[in-house]
C-alpha cells in the first residue's frame, strides 16, 4: 500500500497542468448521485478489506473538484515509480517538479498512518542499512526486535515483496485504519517504518510541520485536505481532452469515442 500511495503522488511528475475547469459537483446534472455512489462503493470495499487505503473515509473530509478526464495513452514505462528508499532530497525534487512543496510532501506522507506495509520494503533498514549488513541504528531496540520477529530474513527478500507478511505502517497508534496525526508522533519517536518517512524527522521544515501536526491534530486534517486538492490539480485533462474510461484500469478500445462527454 505504501508503494501504491507513492505512485499516486508522483506518477504525473512530468505532466503538470492545473485544473481550471474542475468544479465541485461537476456531475450534478448528468449523474447527481455520482459522488455518493463512489463513496458508498469505496466504503463497502473498505469494510470488506481494511487493508484498502481508505482511511480517508474515517479522517479528512473535503469537497473534491470533479470533471477530470482519463488519458487515452497508458504506458507502464512512463509511470514515475518512486522508491520507498528515496532520500528526502529526491522526494522533495520530485514533488517540486509537479508544483508541490515540502509542506505537501510532509502532509501527504501522513497517509502512511493507515494500512499495511510489506516486510520486503523493510529489508534494508532491518538487515542491510546502507550496505553495512547491520540494522538502521535509528530504530528503537524494542521496535527493531519486534519487526525482526515479524519480518525474518527469509521473508524480506525483494522477490517476496508482494507475497510476504504485512505489518501495520503506523506503529504509534491503536487505530491503524483511522487517518490522524499519530503518524507524526511515531516518526518523531523514530518509529516510522519506511526510510523516507523517518527521514522527515531530519529536515528542519518537515520536522517543524510534523511537530505542529502532533500539537494540533485538526491542523493536519485541514492541511491534508488542501494538499490532496492541490495534488488532484496535477496533470488534469478536461473538456474534450482524453476520455472517460469504461474500465478505469485500461484505455477504451474505440479511440474514436475518446472525446465523448457524459449525457
The answer to whether 87 and 29 are in contact (CB under 8 A) is: no
- Sign of the torsion angle spanned by Cα atoms 93, 99, 105, 108: negative
141 is in an annotated binding site: no
The answer to whether 176 and 167 are in contact (CB under 8 A) is: no
The owner of cell 477530470 is 68
The owner of cell 485533462 is 237
Q: Which residues contact 163 (CB under 8 A, 6 or more apart)?
A: none
Alpha carbons 170 and 149: distance in angstroms, whole number? 17
82 is in an annotated binding site: yes
112 is in an annotated binding site: yes
Q: Is 46 strand, coil or helix?
A: helix
Report the greatest alpha carbon distance in the chain.
60
Alpha carbons 21 and 260: distance in angstroms, whole number? 16
Alpha carbons 128 and 148: distance in angstroms, whole number? 12
The answer to whether 74 and 251 are in contact (CB under 8 A) is: yes
Three cell numbers written together for 111:
497517509
Residues of the chain by 3-state class (helix, strand, coil), percent to 5: 45, 5, 50
Task: Please enumerate, by residue number, every residue annotated as part of a binding site for heme b.
Answer: 112
Task: Please enumerate, by residue number, every residue annotated as part of a binding site for Ca(2+).
Answer: 180
Task: Please enumerate, by residue number, every residue annotated as part of a binding site for substrate.
Answer: 82
Task: Please enumerate, by residue number, every residue annotated as part of a binding site.
Answer: 82, 112, 180
Amino acid at each position: 500500500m505504501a508503494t501504491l500511495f507513492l505512485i499516486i503522488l508522483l506518477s504525473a511528475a512530468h505532466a503538470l497542468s492545473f485544473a481550471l475547469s474542475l468544479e465541485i459537483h461537476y456531475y450534478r446534472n448528468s449523474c447527481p448521485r455520482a459522488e455518493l455512489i463512489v463513496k458508498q462503493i469505496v466504503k463497502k470495499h473498505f469494510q470488506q478489506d481494511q487493508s484498502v487505503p481508505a482511511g480517508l473515509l474515517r479522517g479528512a473530509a473535503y469537497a473534491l473538484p470533479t470533471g477530470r478526464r482519463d488519458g487515452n495513452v497508458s504506458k507502464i514505462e512512463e509511470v514515475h515509480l518512486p522508491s520507498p528508499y528515496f532520500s528526502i532530497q529526491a522526494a522533495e525534487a520530485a514533488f517540486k517538479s509537479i508544483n508541490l512543496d515540502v509542506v505537501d510532501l510532509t502532509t501527504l506522507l501522513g497517509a502512511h498512518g493507515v494500512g499495511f506495509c510489506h516486510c520486503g520494503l523493510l529489508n534494508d533498514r532491518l538487515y542491510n542499512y546502507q550496505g553495512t549488513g547491520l540494522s538502521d541504528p535509528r530504530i528503537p531496540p524494542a521496535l527493531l526486535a519486534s519487526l525482526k520477529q515479524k519480518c525474518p530474513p527469509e521473508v524480506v527478500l525483494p522477490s517476496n515483496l508482494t507475497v510476504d507478511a504485512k505489518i501495520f505502517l503506523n506503529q504509534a497508534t491503536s487505530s491503524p485504519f483511522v487517518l490522524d496525526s499519530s503518524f507524526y508522533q511515531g516518526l518523531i519517536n523514530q518509529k516510522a517504518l519506511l526510510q523516507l518517512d523517518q527521514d522527515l524527522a531530519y529536515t528542519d521544515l518537515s520536522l517543524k510541520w510534523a511537530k505542529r501536526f502532533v500539537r494540533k491534530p485538526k491542523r493536519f486534517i485541514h492541511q491534508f485536505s488542501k494538499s490532496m486538492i492541490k495534488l488532484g490539480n496535477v496533470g488534469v485533462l478536461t473538456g474534450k481532452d482524453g476520455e472517460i474510461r469504461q474500465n478505469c484500469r485500461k484505455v477504451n478500445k474505440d479511440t474514436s469515442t475518446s472525446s465523448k462527454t457524459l449525457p
